[in-house]
């Protein structure tokens, strides 16, 4: 990663984040989409699944990786292996059964998904990851997750496109190549810098990310107020083909 650490310090080390690489959020000549999803409310459903003891669309390979004590799962269903479009769905466990709580349109890495993520590939990693820490520019909206609020640490640099200036108003760290229990902007990469890191769930800007997952502000507030560390929430994410394998 080539970032002006001396200029932006911990900020850009972590904002490789939505970056997992040195790319700016918007490439030269790229036009960012509108942040039109920001006002959408969650789509709530209580419809039964074919097998209520399984999470829909998640095959045995990834299902086995969900910890037995997890009572909340955010499943991110990618439209395709090379697509930046996806859908995020929150499920909660009630006894042996999983209940669909809410769903939202989402975006993932602008180049799609990968099972072998490297810094700068602009693909989101496929897998099961903890959701242990949160933070952002704005005040804590009432989450039970540890929340690190700091306008300086999470404010994007001024030269980033206007569409991205609110990306990190709220963030939830996705525990890929990071130390759970540290603020989302912690720059440590236990598996090495080449494996990327700083991958977050954050506010959507209407287009693909560098590796993060993005949803509307309403969705972020809903998730922050609903996820409970006592229920060991995790994210299961990937394109639909990999998820169902």
Q: Which sequence positions are flagged as catalytic?
A: 202, 212
DSSP string, 119-173: TTS--EEPEEEE---EEESSPP-S-SS-EEE-HHHHSPPTTS-GGGTTTTSSEEE
With vertex at residue 164, the alpha carbon angle to CA 227 and CA 225, rounded to the nearest 5 degrees, is 15
Q: How far apart are CA 198 and CA 53, in angstroms?
A: 32
Q: Under a CB-based contact definition with an 8 Å cutoff, are residues 113 and 102 in contact? A: no
Residues 6+ apart with CB under 8 A from 75: 55, 57, 58, 88, 89, 91, 235, 236, 237, 243
Residues 6+ apart with CB under 8 A from 67: 232, 234
Compute CA 173 distance to the chain's CA centroid, rounded to the nearest angstrom. 7
Q: How far apart are CA 99 and CA 52, in angstroms?
A: 7
């Amino acid at each position: 990663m080539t970032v002006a650490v001396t200029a932006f310090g911990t900020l850009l080390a972590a904002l490789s984040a939505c970056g997992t690489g040195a790319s700016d959020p918007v490439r030269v000549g790229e036009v960012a989409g509108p942040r039109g999803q920001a006002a959408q409310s969650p789509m709530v459903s209580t419809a039964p699944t074919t097998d209520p003891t399984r999470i829909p669309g998640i095959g045995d390979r990834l299902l086995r990786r969900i910890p037995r004590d997890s009572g909340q799962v955010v499943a991110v269903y990618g439209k395709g292996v090379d697509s930046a479009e996806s859908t995020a769905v929150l499920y909660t466990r009630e006894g042996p059964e999983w209940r669909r709580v809410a769903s939202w349109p989402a975006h993932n890495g602008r180049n799609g998904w990968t099972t072998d993520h490297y810094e700068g590939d602009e693909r989101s990693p496929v897998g099961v990851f903890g959701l242990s820490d949160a933070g952002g520019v704005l005040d804590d909206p009432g989450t039970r997750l540890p929340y690190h609020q700091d306008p300086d640490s999470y404010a994007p640099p001024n030269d980033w496109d206007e569409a991205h200036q609110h990306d990190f108003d709220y963030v939830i760290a996705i525990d890929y190549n990071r130390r759970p229990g540290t603020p989302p902007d912690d720059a440590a990469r236990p598996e090495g810098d080449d494996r990327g890191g700083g991958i977050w769930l954050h506010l959507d800007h209407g287009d693909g990310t560098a590796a993060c997952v993005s949803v509307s502000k309403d969705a972020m507030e809903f998730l922050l107020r609903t996820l409970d560390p006592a229920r060991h929430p995790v994210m299961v994410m990937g394109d639909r083909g990999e998820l169902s394998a």
